[in-house]
Each structure stands twice: as C-alpha cells, then as structure tokens.
Structure 1
Amino acid sequence: MSYSVGQVAGFAGVTVRTLHYYDRAGLLSPSERSTAGYRLYNDADLARLQQILFYRELGFPLEEIPGILADPRASALDRLSERHGQLKEQITKLQKLVEVAERAIEVERTGVRLTPEERFDIFGAVDWDLSYATDAQLKWGDSAGHRESMARAAKHTKEDWRRLMAELAAWRRELIAAFEDGQPTDGERAMDLAEQHRAHVERWFTPCPPDAHRRIADHYLADPRAFAMLVPPSEQLPGLAHFLHGAVHANAERTVEG
C-alpha cells in the first residue's frame, strides 16, 4: 500500500517540509511516484522514517543517521551507548542548573536583596538550608506578619544586614555562654536573652508580641532548618534549641504577668 506525503506527515507528526528535506538529503526517499510525479511512501519507507525519528528524538545529528541505518548491527549499539552517556551527562548538568535556579528562587524569598558578593561578605560561607524559605512562603505567605517581614527585609541595605548579623552574632555568643553555664530557662539571664531576641525580631522584621514569640520558638524546636537560620549548625550544641524554647516561653509568661 502506498501513502502520499501528506498522509505520511499526518501519521508521523512531522511537516511535509520535513519529509521533502529528508528526500533532498537522501535520508528518506519515497520508493514510488504517482503518474503525476507525486511522492508515494510504502510500508518499508514508513519503517525507515520511524527509525529516523527515533534517532532524532535521541538527539543524533541528521548526518549521522544514514550511517547507523546503513549497517545498524555494526554501529547502532556503539552509537546508542555513546549517546546514552552523553544524555546522562546532560541530565546531570541540567539537574545542577535546576538546583541553582531553585536556590536562587529560595534566596529571593528570604527577602535578602543583595548581590552574591555582598551576601558572602555579610553572611560568610554559611550554608543555610534555604528550602526553609520556600516552605515558609507556602505556609505563611498570605499572613500579614510574613508579608511585613519580607517587605522590611527587602528594604534592608547592605549596612543594615551587616549590623543585623553583628547584633545576632553577639546575641548568639551570650546565648551559648548562658547555656554552657547551666543557667535555668526561667532565670533572669535566660529570659533577658529571650527578650533581646524578641526585640531583635521587632527591630528588623515584624512586630513580635509574646504569643508570636512563643510560636517562633515552637517552630525552632519543630524544624531544625528554622533553628539553623538563627544558630548555624557549626555553633549548635545538643539541647540549645530546647534551652531557647524554654527561655522564650518563660519570658512570654513574665511579660504577660508584668
């Protein structure tokens, strides 16, 4: 049975122009012609076209395909194996690009409007799990507090971030020292540190009444990524998150009672 060029184009999902090009290139010439000179393809032609499209889908250049089809047993396996390796390399490269793009999106969601060089200068080589920023956006993106926090973070200048990080680093040193000294979570020193943290949040990001501060502390305990945004893993000690959690709750009670 014979098929016209239009029919074959419809079967194969290619354009008539593509089939004409394959004919001119000697890649797929129709086996027959009508009395009027029109191209006619038989079943063998369709099978060859299927092979051509298969190799094209794998990314083989058109100029290589005739050699593969001419002696498939001798060359197809080697060429497919080579192409398989190339595709795996491409997948690896694309995956890295996807990760870079995802990380860039997550960095933007933190509200830190700095160049990469400025980020490194201020934050150093801190490798935070920025997926936390994405999850936070999904969970609280519609809340007024989260919107305000992101809006204020977006307005911070490089010097603002430098002061913010210096303030946080000094506070962390005091927190760790109090923890290592064995201070009780409901003692004055621990509660004062909790109050300093609450004031830090209010000063740089969003209003933080005692109930909101409790929720933040609960989240530090529930999600290690959240606590790592406050205390980098390299500075963490076993029990430190629980210590801060207890101090925040004790301070909240003190504030409400006062």
Structure 2
Amino acid sequence: MSTTTPGRRGGTAYGAVRGVAGRLSVVTKGVDAVPSDGLTVGAAASLVGVTVRTLHHWDAMGLVSPSERTAGGYRLYSATDIARIHRVLIYRELGLPLDGIADLLEAPATEPLVEQRAQLVERISRLQEMVAAVDRLIEAKNAGLLLTAEEQVAIFGRDWQPSWVAGARERWGETDQWAQYAERSAEMTTEDWKQVAASISTLDEDLAAAKRAGVVAGSTEGNALAERHRASIGAFFDCTHSMHVCLGRKYVADAGFTAHYDAFEPGLTLWLRDLINANAVANGIDPETATWS
C-alpha cells in the first residue's frame, strides 16, 4: 500500500493541530511579557493576537476578565489573566464552544489537570486522524489507486496494466466523476479491492453466460444485466444512463476493453454495448445523441 508524502497536509484539521502546538509554544513567552502592573485591553489583545472586541466579549460573558486596576480605576490584565486567555485560545483552536470552555476553566481546583489534558490529547488525536484522511484523499485523487503496481496485478490479474490508472487520471482527472472516484477509493482497503475485483469477474462471467444463453438487448433480463453493469460502475462514481452509453461506445472503440470482454465470450463487447443502448432507450435516452452528462 502506498503511503502519503511526508509534509503534505490537509487544510483545516492540520491547521487546528498546528494552531494548538503554536499556542502552547507561546503561552510561557506571553505570560512572561506581562509587566508587573498589568496590561491594558489593547496591549493584552495585541499580545495574544485577538481583537479588543473579542476580549470585551469574553469579559462580558465572564470567560476572562481583567483582575487588576490602575490608580485611576482602569482595568488591567495580569499575567494570570493572560495565561487564562491562552487557555481559552487553545480550547477554541480545538473547536470547543465558548460555553464548554467556560466549564473547563471553572472546574473545581481539586479536579486533576491531567483530565483536561486527556481531553485535549483526544481531540488532537481526532484531528490528526482527519489530517490522515485528507492526505489519503489527496493521494487518491493524484494517484487514482492506492495500491502498488504489484498489488494491482495480484488483485486484477496478469492482464492488468497499472499504466491504465495514470491514463485514466490524465483523461478524466479534472472531472467530477474522478473526484467522486478518488473520494471512494481513498476509503478502500486491499481487501475491499479484492471484493470489487471478484464482483466484476462474476459479472463478466454472468454476462458471457447470458450471451451464450441467447439473452437479447431490450428484454427484461437484458435490461436487468445492463443495470447491474451500470451499478458496478456506480460503485466508483454516479453513472447516468447517458454516461453508460458513452462507456459502451468506448468498450467497442478501445481495443483493450474489447479484448477484455471478448476473452470471456467472443462478441461480448458488441453484445454488451447493445444491452446498454437498449436499456438507455427504456430509460428515455437516445443512444445516438447521448453525451457524458
């Protein structure tokens, strides 16, 4: 199984993790920068990187209030207040609501801090899992298949060409269908792919058997087989009847696809194309004018 490239990260989740790490790294520095006589709201906002309006809001809701006063009665933030602000910012980086943050800040002094730390670690762990999932999605979109060349051949058979995946990405990499495929592919394991390969092989055998049995295009059984084939494609992206017709054309025009189907039964490619077209007509699509839509 291929792995993600070190250093490549998915936006929001990774940003949150980095935000927490960065915030933790400046807490001590920020507290040390507070003069003994405290900071005005403007100076405090500048130090911790929030707006004055934010500090006023937190003061109003009792989240963080300046605890010192000047001789003239102006309120000042002490080093302890600044440390509390940093705690709020850490919790906020992790996506906790302000009400929940208030509960954490006001927890009884006897409550072990290790409990709060455990909550942070758990949240960071979930965010890191999100990062990994986003990385996997990025790789799936770029690579097309999260299997090594050896795994692909082992699963899909000796006739499989790993280069086909790169060709498909080059042709369809910017389409909505490729994005859908990448999203679903990113969640699939090697065992999932084995099941997919087995299911497709069974379908191909059933199509060949139906052709030998004389199933004709447009019949109830023929339309059911066409729908089953369309559903096999729908496992990777939403395939309309019009798209299905376009794929049927490609099967006939492409020597590789023709060789694949005709290996199960001579003439199977043309027969499948006719099944697809007849089923499309039954669903209101004219195969002559069908487009990739």
TM-score normalised according to structure 2 size: 0.44
Q: Which one has the bigger helix percentage?
A: 1
Q: Which has the higher contact order (CA 8 A, sep 6+)?
A: 2
TM-score normalised according to structure 1 size: 0.49
